[in-house]
Every structure is written in C-alpha cells, then in structure tokens.
Structure 1
Amino acid sequence: MKLIDFNPNAYPSQPDPFILKGENGKFYVYSTSVDGVRAYESDSLTGEYKDLGFVFTMEGKKEYWAPSVIYTHGKYYMYVSCMPKDSDDCHTEAMHVASSTSPQGPFVDAKQLIEPFSIDSHVVENESGLFIFYSINDYDDPNRAGTYIVVDKMPTPESVEGNPVTVLKPTLDEEIFQRDRFKKGQHWHTLEGAFYFREGDYHYIIYSGNCYQNEYYYLGYAVAKTAETDLTKIKFTKYPNENTYMPLIAKNEFEEGTGHNSVIKENGVWYAVYHGRDAVPDVNLLNLEEKRTARICKLILDGEKMTAERYEDKL
C-alpha cells in the first residue's frame, strides 16, 4: 500500500524512504533527492503526510542518498551520503552527519563521517553503544565484486571507530547490478540499504539486492539468533541460505522496483516502509523521471522466518 500517495500537499516521489517516530509522537519520512533531503510529517503512521520540503542541504553538494535519522544524546542526527556538485562520478558519494533539535530540521553542522564510497546508513543504539551499518565497494573480489554491507562502532554520534566489519556480501547472480561493468567478465553486484532490528534473541537485517531498475531487484533478509549486543560480533546468515534467491519483497502484479526499506514497530506490529513503482504507471507521475514512491506493509516474524503481507490498497 502506498504510504504517501499523490496529493497536492506532498511531493510525488520518495526514493529510499526512512521512517521515524519523533519524540513528539509524530511520524517522519526522509527521502533521497538530488538537491537535498526531503522530509514529510504525519500525525499517524498511515495518515496524510505533509511535505516539509528540504530539511538538509550542504553547500557544494548534490545527490543526497538514503538519509537515516536517530534521536540520541538529546538531538536528532541525520546520516546521508552526498557528492560534490562538480563530480560526475557516483563513487564520490560519502557519508555525512548533521544534527537538529527537531525532526523537522533544519539539520546543520554537517561534516563528512566516512570517506567515499560510503552509502545507505542505518545507525543503531543499544546497551553496547552506537553502531552504523552502511555499504562500501569491493573491486577485488574475483567472483562477486561489488557493493556490500559493513558495520562499525561509533564512539559518538559524530564519529566512527574506523574498523568496519563485513556483515553481508553478494552471493547470487540475481544480485548482479550490471554485467561487465568495469571490465569484461567482472560483473558488478550490489547489496545495500541495510536496516537492522531485533525481536527477542533474533536479530534481523533487511537489505536490497541488485538495482532498482532491474528485473531481479528485491528486498531480502539475514538473521542471527544470539543474546550478543555488540553488533560487530554477530554473524548474520541470509535467509534461507546464501545460494537461494527467495525475496522477502519483490515485484508483483501491482508494484515493481521494490526495495530500500526501513522498519518501524507501532502498537506491537512491525511494518516495512519501502519504495516501489506502480506496475501500471500513475498518470500523475508520467512526466516525472523519478517514479519511486513510499509504500508500507506488515511484517510477520516467526523466529528465523519473516514474511511480508502486501496489499495494493490496505494494510
């Protein structure tokens, strides 16, 4: 179901939607955009979302990818990748951090957190401290070169330890972003958009594989059962295994290009918020190059097994 449907009060596209419930009880969605991070606000999870416009921009930067926000240490911290305006190379995307006293922004005092290439953050706080999941590139893997997911500790909300640990790497042909991308015979794979959450002793990571424009683009998940809280020490395993393509969410009869999710628990129910395109294009979006919109579905957890309940017009 579309979370932010086309309406005159909301910008019509929300790639890489990150959902947050603010300390004020309102719900916020932050999304990717060329010129800044765009945000939306609603009084309820599935109510009408008001477009707040750009809540973060940085002089000399463009292509603000996959923002995430956490409330900690009395502030809201945003983590987002961007690149120099004069660059044409997306591999100059670097993770930045900015802060605000309000989920509405503006987010200010920005600085680079991690060197390029670093994208798709999710910052988590638990009893062992702060951790950041994000994606980087491996050009040297002879079999599955590409983008993969790591995690690092954060001494403070504005610093990383600098010792990233591999979490998940590509293992499937369905994760190929582009064949022969940089040289003949070396196919480029992509795992990105990691979102971590926990239920009891089960730890889950939902991730995106492939490219949002491609046939096999999907959301998959990995799981671990442990009482460990140091997230750099947990070994996650793709479900059902590393060699089987079994999407949690992929294209169906009413939506395609489904991926890059965030997760929220409200009234005891887990929900995934992800982007997708209508299988039959929305007439209101026909003139837009970017047609990904925020969608929502329930997640059902049963130990290591997770399922997504998806409907076109209801939860």
Structure 2
Amino acid sequence: MLPVPSPSSSAAAGRYAPSPSGELHVGNLRTAMLAWLFARSTGRNFLLRIEDLDRARAGAEAAQVRDLAAVGLDWDGEVIRQSDRTPVYLEAIAKLQAEGRVYECFCTRAEISDAPRAPHSPPGAYPGTCRNLPEAERERRRRERPGALRLRADVDEYTVHDVLHGDYTGAVDDLVLLRNDGVPPYNLAVVVDDAAQGIDQVVRGDDLLSSTPRQAYLASLLGLPPVEYVHVPLVLGTTGKRLAKRDGAVTLGALADAGIPVPEATAMILDSLGLPGTLPEALEVFDPRKLPREPWIFTPPVR
C-alpha cells in the first residue's frame, strides 16, 4: 500500500514549474492539478515557478498562468522566474569549484554521442573525455571553443525514494553545471531553486524519474535538504506517444473551440484521476493510494 505523505510545516511547499514554450495541454494541466492536490492535502504551500532559462515564447507565460487559474489552481507568494536567478546558480557552482568538483569540458554533442562508453551506460551519458585533460591541452582547447563546466561525480548511480515508484536507482554521470554559452542548465537550476524556495515535495511527470538520481546526488553535494518525490503517470495521445498539439484539441483554448468549456474540461481531467469535477471537491477526497498508475490515453472529444 502506498504511504500517505505526512502533514508538513507551514514553511514546506510543493510547486508546479512549467517552461513557457507554449500553451499548456491537458497533460500539463493534469500534472499541475496533482501537484496542487498533493501540496494542499498535506498542509503545504503551493508555489508557481517559471523555468525560462532555455525555452521562452512571447506570451506563453501569461497564457499558462491564465489557464492554471482557469482550472482552479491558486498559489502562494510571487511567481519566480529562473531567468532572474543566474547569480544564485553561479554561487552554487562556485561552491563546487572550491571543493574541486568542477572541470571544463570542450566536447561537442556529436563527440559525446560518438564516444565509447562503459558497458551498461545509459544513452547520452557523458563518458568523461575531458575529465583528466592536462592543463596544456585545456589551454589549447580553450582557444578553439569555450568550455562548459561539468560536475566531477564520484558515484556511478544514486538511489531516491518516490511515493508512487518506491526506491529507484539511476545512473549518475558528470552532468553539465554551466553550458558554454554561460546559461545554467535545468538539472542545476531546479535543485537550487527547490531548496531556496523551501520546496520539500516535487510532483512531476514520470518521464523525469530517470533524471532524479542525478539531481538528488547534486543536491547532496550542495548540502541541500532531500525532497519527497512523486512522479505521476503521463497523458498520452491515441498513438501511445506523449501528448502534443498534433493530437488535436488538447489545450483549453482548442477544447473551448471544440465546444468543451473550461469547467467541463477540468472535470474531464479530474475524472481521469477518479476524482470529482472541481479542485475543491477533489481535494476533499484526494488519496494518493487510489491514483491510477497507468498513463491516461487522451482522445479529444468531438462535438
């Protein structure tokens, strides 16, 4: 039987953190609702953070905030944007550098993809090409292209505990801490931001479970407190692939154009979780032990 998360102090929080790359579809909204339900049902605050370091489309943030409010979500405090927080990420990198845990990497994506790896290494894992370069070679490569900064990991795998999946052990490699264009990557920013905001419960799609051991390991090196992970099933299209606009009416706007108003769309999403039709009603009966464990195959309604 799944454990029910215990009530937390008022300083504890859950969150939803979309990337402003376009409108939210019903899969994004379903995950946001679950994050809200997990947080509110355990006495946590609920925060909204915009992860705009890498992908930001004009007007997308405003549209996402509008749609989250339309389905009944509320949040505590101001909306935080990662693009305002680069100095904080650089401080975290400096801490790791002072401990000798950072090195320059000059590899291109193609070189990483083509490099030989140890047996059983996951696809895309960094093979350590630049880990022990002599300083003279580093100087030569700096003249050719700027380097990224990588973590010098001292483990190959790390185990986390997830409310829905139990213990999960995943690979850890020398992940990027700062890209060669000076932008901090997702894995660093999300760890630093969660700790800075007092977030101790992370609810997100289960496609991100495999990257969680790397993030938890990085958090441990930075001396940050552990969080409670909840990776929830995705929403898939009728082809069995992740939901996307190609699947038809999958956003609130498109559903409204198809004759499905927001309250009906909200009730449809909650019904896929076995919950009644509004968030306040769903919160009254929410029990994580009863959540579906399989993906929801979404078929856009036709009217």
TM range (shorter): under 0.3
TM-score by length of 1: 0.24
Structure whose residues are more often helix by fraction? 2
Between 1 and 2, higher relative CO (CA 8 Å, sep ≥ 6) is seen in 2
TM-score by length of 2: 0.25
Larger Rg: 2
Structure whose residues are more often strand by fraction? 1
